[in-house]
Amino acid sequence: MRGSCCGWNRRTEQRFRLLAISTVKSVKIKLLLCCCVALTLLAFSTSASSFVVWNNQTPLPPRSSDSRRGYSIVMNTWKRYDLLKQSIKHYSSCPRLESVHIVWSEPNPPSDILLKFLHHVVKSKPKDGRQVKLRFDINKEDSLNNRFKEIKDLETDAVFSIDDDVIFPCSSVEFAFDVWQSAPDTMVGFVPRVHWMDSLKDDDNKFSYGGWWSVWWTGTYSMVLSKAAFFHKKYFNIYTNEMPSSIREYVTKNRNCEDIAMSFLVANATGAPPVWVKGKIFEIGSTGISSLGGHSERRTECVNRFATVYGRMPLVSTSVKAVDSRNIWFW
């Protein structure tokens, strides 16, 4: 009788012990799940708050006002005055911006109304007692090569080449500038593109041009477009005076591929790939060359023609992407 009673007590004790262990495990799992949910909600709220509008930017630390450490914007525009005003108004707030050079290729000079508005915008946003310089680079000929003409009064080494219909938060531009400073001979930009050898063609030296979806699918790129990219001002001189003239003539005639030409030039000079920087892009325009039919075919023709002129393919592919880990949870 005593033995059976002791056995029952031991079994009861074991059951309570197992119940206690399972309860502790259940509590631990629930606590872990709660922590995961809380972190997910926090990450979502952080990213959502910065996504609401493009000018809601992350506060930036104070920067040196030394012009040698700043950058200049060279903006290409064509009869889109509202977009030009919006872009200048936005970028004038960027901390290390020293000057804005507007590439003007229209038959008529900028109107007095436009000049007055833009000068008022930059004067209304002084930085540490200084103002952003605004210049119009007037061109007699309407050519896409104009955006890469040498600028004599350019005071900074760094150039941020940008179209008038794309907006990036200043925090993204400043981060891209930091990346460029670590590799000042290469191109650093936000819009990647790719090329690859066309295996369907009998000729082993035929290439194809790929847009964003090709970059997304393959995870590689070999160009960053000059619609939003940093590069050294020395490439203006090389593009205008040293690059084969047949490439500039092709760009003028076909009104396309000046950005591919610059990518070829920099890759040929460095033997290195560009650097793609992750950033939020806001397209404020609705039309452009890329929206026309047959755009990819024309770009493919450019890639093959330029490779023939160089006698080889200078573009270098890579899968590296620069990410500002301060502003994201997972990277």
DSSP string spanning 227-287? TEEEEETHHHHHHHHTS-HHHHHHHHHHT--HHHHHHHHHHHHHSS--EEE----EE----
Q: Which residues are 99's β-sheet partners?
A: 72, 133
Residue 29, pLDDT score = 55
Q: Are 146 and 105 in contact (CB under 8 A)?
A: yes
Indicate the pLDDT class of residue 252, thresholds 50, 70 and 90.
very high
Q: How far apart are CA 304 and CA 260, in angstroms?
A: 11
pLDDT in tens, 264-305: 999 999 999 999 999 988 888 765 555 556 788 999 999 999
Report the pLDDT averaged over residues 76-82. 92
The answer to whether residue 68 scores a pLDDT higher than 80 is no
In this predicted model, which residue has the larger pLDDT, 83 or 326? Answer: 83
> Average pLDDT, whole number, for the chain?
83
Indicate the pLDDT class of residue 87, thresholds 50, 70 and 90.
very high
Q: Are 98 and 70 in contact (CB under 8 A)?
A: yes
Indicate the pLDDT class of residue 331, thresholds 50, 70 and 90.
low
In this predicted model, which residue has the larger pLDDT, 30 or 255? Answer: 255
Residue 88, pLDDT score = 96
pLDDT in tens, 168-192: 999 999 999 999 999 999 999 999 9
Report the pLDDT averaged over residues 98-121. 95
For the chain, domains (ranges, CATH) are 71-326 (3.90.550.10)
Highest mean pLDDT: which of 16-20, 73-77, 323-327?
A: 73-77
Residue 131, pLDDT score = 87
Residue 286, pLDDT score = 62
Q: What is the pTM of this model?
A: 0.78
Report the pLDDT averaged over residues 247-263. 97
- C-alpha distances in Å from residue 228, one per residue of 165, 169, 187: 10, 12, 10
The answer to whether residue 92 scores a pLDDT higher than 80 is yes
The answer to whether residue 54 scores a pLDDT higher than 70 is no
Q: Alpha helix (H) ranges present in the chain?
A: 2-51, 81-91, 112-123, 170-182, 212-218, 234-241, 245-254, 258-270, 295-310
Residues classed as catalytic: 259
The answer to whether residue 56 scores a pLDDT higher than 50 is no
Nearest alpha carbon to residue 55 among 18, 11, 93 = 93
Indicate the pLDDT class of residue 61, thresholds 50, 70 and 90.
very low
What torsion, rounded to 10 degrees, do the Cα atoms 222, 224, 226, 227 define? 140
Q: How far apart are CA 44 and CA 49, in angstroms?
A: 8
